[in-house]
Amino acid sequence: MTDRRLEYPATLRNRDAILDVLRGVLPASGLVLEIASGSGEHIVHFARAFPGLTFQPSDPEEAALQSIQAWTLDSGLANVRPPVMLDALSERWPVTAANAVLCINMIHIAPWRATEGLFHGAAKLLPGGAPLYLYGPYRRAGVVTAPSNEAFDASLKARNEEWGLRDLEIVADLARSVGFSGPVVTEMPANNLSVVFRRV
């Protein structure tokens, strides 16, 4: 049988730093929905570390769904649900309630509408106090963007003019407008940020 597991090299470099932050963010029990799970390597790593939580992976791409399923089966973990097809742009998500939402490395590799969809969708399904965790590179007012992030931004825009690093302040404005407090920001390796919003 063909091995459908995708391997994203960045995951091995960032998953433990992300896990450290998640230890202070995720609830002790409940359902964690991941948007844009990609290969599925992150969610399997997190599910192993948090056996008291149930994880719901998702992605809009068929190849990603197959990879997530393959990594989940390979892991033998019982606390990862089968992946669901979920496009953040969609009005109706196939998940209607969760206790936390994660979204790693998506908002700069999708049109701004996807970020709007992410916040609107997450606001509908999270209860008061629940976290929306984002990870990735950002621009920040008053902070010089690292040359590596400037180059990354240019390469993203060359691939798709609607892609590119987002301004953290603009993301925070969007978050407030749909009912989130925050952000609580943690600087991460390689000029990335962990950004946590909480449903008001």
Q: Please report, as ranges, the residues that interact with ligand SAM according to CB under 6 A.
A: 8, 11, 35-39, 42, 59-61, 64, 87-89, 104-106, 109-110, 114
Minimum CB distance to ligand SAM smaller for 59 or for 130 = 59
The count of residues in the chain is 200
Minimum CB distance to ligand SAM smaller for 106 or for 168 = 106
Q: What's the closest the beta carbon of residue 36 comes to ligand SAM, in angstroms?
A: 3
Q: What's the closest the beta carbon of residue 8 comes to ligand SAM, in angstroms?
A: 4
Distance CA 146, CA 153 (A): 11
**Cα angle value 60/63/64 (rounded, 5°):** 60
Minimum CB distance to ligand SAM smaller for 43 or for 168 = 43
Q: Which residue is nearest to ligand SAM (CB)?
A: 38
Q: What's the closest the beta carbon of residue 142 comes to ligand SAM, in angstroms?
A: 27
> The tokens of 90 are what?
């969609």
Q: What's the closest the beta carbon of residue 41 comes to ligand SAM, in angstroms?
A: 7
Q: Is 185 within 8 Å of 194 (Cβ atoms)?
A: yes
The CA distances from residue 128 to 25, 50, 108, 131, 199, in Å, are 14, 22, 27, 9, 5
